[in-house]
Structure formats: C-alpha cells, structure tokens
C-alpha cells in the first residue's frame, strides 16, 4: 500500500486516545497553550540551533485525516466513533509562534508556542517533536563543524549513512548550520541546495589504469572537476590527476583525500601540487570527519571538507531532547490558569513565555529572558524595558500558515540568521569542549 500524503498519522497513539477521552469528558475544546523547549543542553553543546520550522509548516498543510485513515482507525478500534467524527473534518485552526529558523536557543527557550483547543494542540505533539528533535540536532552539529572549519566550506555527504528520507531533512538542517552543499539530489532539488559530487574509488577501479579513469571523468566534467587521488598511491595519483587535466587543456580544480593521515597528506600534496605548478588546485578531504577532526585539520592546507556519518547522526547527539508541554489552559470560569509538572528532575514552569535575548554593553548576548504570563503587550513591554531582542515570530495565525517560510529563500535566510545569531554569542559559545551553556536563562513573571 503506498504511503499517504497526509501527515496526520505521523503520531503516537496516545495523542488520539487523549483527545477521545477529553471529548467524552467535555474538556477537549478548552483553550490551551503548549510549548516546545529543552530542559537542558547536552554537555557538548553550548547552544542549540533552531531548524525544522519550514518542514513543520509544510507538514501542517497536509495534516488532515483522509477517508482510508479514518477507516483504518475504525477497523483497529483505536478511538470511538465520536472521536472519528471529530478527526474526519480536522484542520488545525489555532496559532503557532516560535523562534525563527537559524536562531540559537538555550535551556527553557520556548522554541514553539502552540495555542488552540486542547484537542487540536495535542494532535500535533509527535509531528512537531519528531521534526524539531531531528533537525535541531543536525543543525547544531553542523554549526559546530562550520565553527571548526574557520570559513572553509563544509559539504554534506551523509545520505548513505542514514534513513533515505532523514538524509533529505538532514541536508536542509545542515545548510541552516552553515553547510554549503549536499550530495543528496532529492535535497538539492527540493530545497534549492547546491548539489556536489564527482566519482568514487569504484570509478577508478573500473578502468584499466588511473590515468584512464581520470581522463574519462575529465572528458565529462572538465578539468575543473575534483579527482580522487588515493585509490592506489597518492603521490602518483596527484601526478596523474594534474597531467590528465593539462592534457584536456586546463588546470585541475581539486583533488580529494579520503584516507590516511589527512594532516600529513594535505601538506605533502599541497607541496607536490605547487611543485607541479598546479598552484590553484584545491584540496578537499573526507573520511569520517566531525568537528574535532575538522579542528585538528585547521593548520593543514585544506580548502574544504566533506562530512557524512557524524553530520547525519548529530555528531554524538542524535536528538535535541526537546519536549512538548501544556503550560496554560482556560478554566471553567474562562480565566487562564498556568499549569506545570512538579515531577522530580522533570518539572516545568507554568505560564505562557515570551522570549528575548539581552545584550551586554559590547553587543554580545548576556542572557535569555523569558517573560512568564501577562498579555502580549505587557510581555513585549517587559522585554523592551530589559533591552531584549524579541525572538519569536508568528508562524500560523488562526490556522493560516505562512507558506513563505519553507521555500529556498527561507532556507537561505535561515542560514544568514544563524550567522548573525551565533556571532552575537560570547566567545565561550564557540568552544568545542564540554562546558556551561553560552548564556543563562532567566524567568521574569508578570503578576
């Protein structure tokens, strides 16, 4: 059976059973506010990067229960007929605001605020978390890698190391974190990302000799291509690569190193290229890189990096551990009531949050200020009084989705926003070592 275009069953069963029970109890339509946030950051992360907002909005366009899905839910006895009647015509009609893609976030940051009835907000929980937990983890890893690269381009080559669809999402998130291209053609087509790639070792092994393989690649792609020179002997491979490009009437674009001691090899190959007069030929390296390996290669004459496994698995942090919690609801008297968990180590702060970033006198971020409660106007005034930069933007208003937030230009804007947001952080945020988060989070309540 082919997969449905609808995203409504990308959820956990208990979302539907909660809605069913709430419908029976008469509480399903109570106005409610949920927030997506992380209680803490992993030890190796001093900041997180917001990614996945565009994918969420695109998924919401398709969040409806199709007839065959309703039939399946009925046949499986998942929920009652009353609940099926509710789901049959479901469309999210509430409001969502959140941090713009590319923005940095910290413990407690309300990455998303979802407002609507309890039922409609509950149905979105798993979809929102599955997208954000994956994409934020990849973007955060990518950001650390581009910090370590010191301006040298990083390219996504991780498609073969993850789920085929997750690889597409990872490529998009990596661009938000600063990556400059992807080997995954579906991601390149869907999101307007630069596609990169030339040939693998198998192409060289296919031919009777390395020079023959290089000549075949150059015949198609031209001398400006990148030739993989470590299938046999690297030193001879460099000679063969330069000669093949010159035989075609041009200077070789780049050589790729994929094995061995990359630091030593890069210096040796750079010297060899220069001695051969190929001074404009660049060096790119691959081979299971992460931010620490990239940092260790910083002194080597390398021009770009191709990153695979460690990127698409979040470089040791495959999920952002974001949660989705009810923080406010309307009671029987029509008044808003802050609600919070009191569980040990899993407590939450009740009340709707309005977020801003306070800068110090030098223009660097000093704290994440979360104003709790109050009207939107009161919260905005509190941020202004503290000199805080507002962080949340409207994403969905009355069920109307801002579709301009998921196209190629939106992705480019998110990457630019991340550069600005990251540059705003204090120096310790850029360190790759374990340590405290870059800035503290402070709560300020409005009575």
Using CA atoms in the order 9, 15, 21, 22, what is the torsion angle rounded to 10 degrees?
A: -110
Give the model's pLDDT for residue 1: 42
Give the model's pLDDT for residue 389: 96
Write out the CATH class of domain 13-138+317-445.
alpha beta
- Examine the pLDDT at 15 and tell me if it is beyond 60: yes
Q: Is the separation of the CB atoms in 193 and 177 below 8 Å?
A: no
Q: Is the separation of the CB atoms in 372 and 352 below 8 Å?
A: yes
Q: Is the separation of the CB atoms in 173 and 160 below 8 Å?
A: no
> Looking at residues 367-387, what average pLDDT do you find?
95
Mode of pairing for the β-strands spanning 226-228 and 181-182: unpaired
Question: pLDDT grade, residue 218 (50/70/90)?
Answer: very high
- Examine the pLDDT at 165 and tell me if it is beyond 60: yes
Edge-to-edge strand list for the sheet holding 388-390: 388-390, 353-359, 365-372, 441-445
Question: pLDDT grade, residue 403 (50/70/90)?
Answer: confident
Residue 219 tokens, joined = 């015949």
> Looking at residues 271-289, what average pLDDT do you find?
97
Give the model's pLDDT for residue 82: 97
Q: Give Cβ neighbours of residue 435 (< 8 Å, ≥ 6 apart).
A: 46, 428
% of the chain exceeding 90 in pLDDT: 93
For residues 385 and 114, give the distance between their C-alpha atoms in angstroms, rounded to a whole number: 26
User: Per DSSP, which regions of 57-108 are E strands?
Assistant: 95-99, 104-105
Residue 126 tokens, joined = 């798993």
Which residues share a beta bridge with 301? none
End-to-end CA distance of the chain: 55
Give the model's pLDDT for residue 405: 86
> Looking at residues 303-330, what average pLDDT do you find?
97
Residue 10 tokens, joined = 């990308």
Give the model's pLDDT for residue 2: 46
For residues 217 and 314, give the distance between their C-alpha atoms in angstroms, rounded to a whole number: 33
CATH number 3.20.20.70 given to 198-302: yes
| H/E segment holding residue 403 | none
Concatenated DSSP letters of 280-298: T-EEEE-SS--HHHHHHTT
> Looking at residues 371-376, what average pLDDT do you find?
94
219-257 residue pLDDT tens: 999 999 999 999 999 999 999 999 999 999 999 999 999
Closest CA to 254 of 295, 287, 290, 217: 217
For residues 370 and 441, give the distance between their C-alpha atoms in angstroms, rounded to a whole number: 7
Q: Is the separation of the CB atoms in 40 and 107 below 8 Å?
A: yes
Q: Give Cβ neighbours of residue 165 (< 8 Å, ≥ 6 apart).
A: none
Domain chopping of the chain, boundaries: 13-138+317-445, 198-302
Give the model's pLDDT for residue 3: 54
Question: pLDDT grade, residue 4 (50/70/90)?
Answer: low
> Looking at residues 95-115, what average pLDDT do you find?
98
Give the model's pLDDT for residue 134: 98
Averaged confidence pLDDT in the chain = 96
- Examine the pLDDT at 333 and tell me if it is beyond 90: no
> Looking at residues 2-27, what average pLDDT do you find?
92
Give the model's pLDDT for residue 332: 85
Angle at the Cα of 110 (from 108 to 116), degrees rounded to 5? 135
Of 2-6, 291-295, 432-436, least confident by mean pLDDT is 2-6
């Amino acid at each position: 059976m082919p997969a449905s275009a609808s995203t409504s069953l990308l959820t956990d069963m208990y979302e539907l059973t909660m809605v069913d029970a709430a419908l029976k109890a008469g509480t399903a339509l109570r106005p409610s506010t949920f927030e997506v946030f992380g209680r803490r950051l992993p030890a190796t992360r001093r900041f997180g990067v917001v990614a996945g907002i565009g994918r969420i909005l695109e998924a919401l366009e398709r969040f409806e229960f199709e007839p065959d899905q309703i039939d399946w839910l009925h046949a499986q006895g998942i929920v009652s007929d009353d609940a099926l009647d509710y789901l049959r015509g479901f469309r999210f009609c509430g409001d969502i605001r959140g941090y713009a893609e590319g923005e940095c976030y910290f413990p407690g940051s309300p990455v998303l605020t979802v407002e609507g009835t309890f039922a409609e907000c509950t149905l979105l929980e798993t979809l929102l978390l599955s997208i954000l937990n994956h994409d934020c983890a990849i973007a955060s890893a990518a950001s650390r890698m581009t910090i370590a690269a010191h301006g040298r381009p990083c390219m996504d080559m991780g498609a073969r190391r993850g789920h085929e669809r997750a690889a597409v999402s990872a490529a998009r998130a990596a661009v938000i974190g600063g990556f400059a291209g992807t080997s995954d053609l579906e991601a390149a087509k869907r999101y307007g990302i630069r596609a990169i790639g030339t040939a693998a070792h198998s192409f060289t092994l296919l031919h009777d000799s390395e020079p023959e393989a290089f000549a075949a690649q150059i015949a198609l792609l031209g001398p400006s291509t990148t030739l993989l020179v470590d299938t046999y002997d690297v030193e001879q491979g460099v000679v063969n690569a330069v000669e093949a490009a010159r035989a075609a009437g041009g200077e070789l674009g780049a050589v790729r190193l994929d094995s061995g001691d990359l630091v030593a090899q890069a210096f040796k190959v750079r010297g060899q290229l220069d001695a051969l007069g190929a001074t404009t030929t660049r060096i790119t390296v691959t081979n299971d890189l992460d931010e620490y390996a990239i940092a260790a290669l910083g002194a080597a004459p390398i021009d770009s990096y191709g990153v695979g496994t460690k990127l698409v698995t979040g470089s040791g942090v495959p999920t952002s551990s974001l949660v989705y919690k009810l923080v406010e609801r309307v009671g029987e008297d029509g008044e808003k009531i802050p609600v919070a968990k009191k569980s040990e180590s899993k407590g939450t702060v009740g009340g709707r949050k309005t977020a801003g970033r306070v800068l110090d006198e030098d223009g660097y971020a000093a704290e994440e200020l979360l104003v709790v409660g109050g009207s939107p106007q009161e919260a905005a005034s509190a941020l202004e009084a503290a000199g805080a930069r507002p962080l949340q933007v409207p994403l969905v208003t009355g069920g109307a989705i801002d579709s301009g937030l998921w196209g190629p230009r939106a992705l480019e804007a998110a990457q630019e926003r991340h550069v600005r947001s990251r540059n705003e952080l204090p120096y310790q945020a850029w360190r790759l070592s374990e340590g405290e988060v870059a800035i503290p989070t402070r709560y300020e309540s409005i009575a």
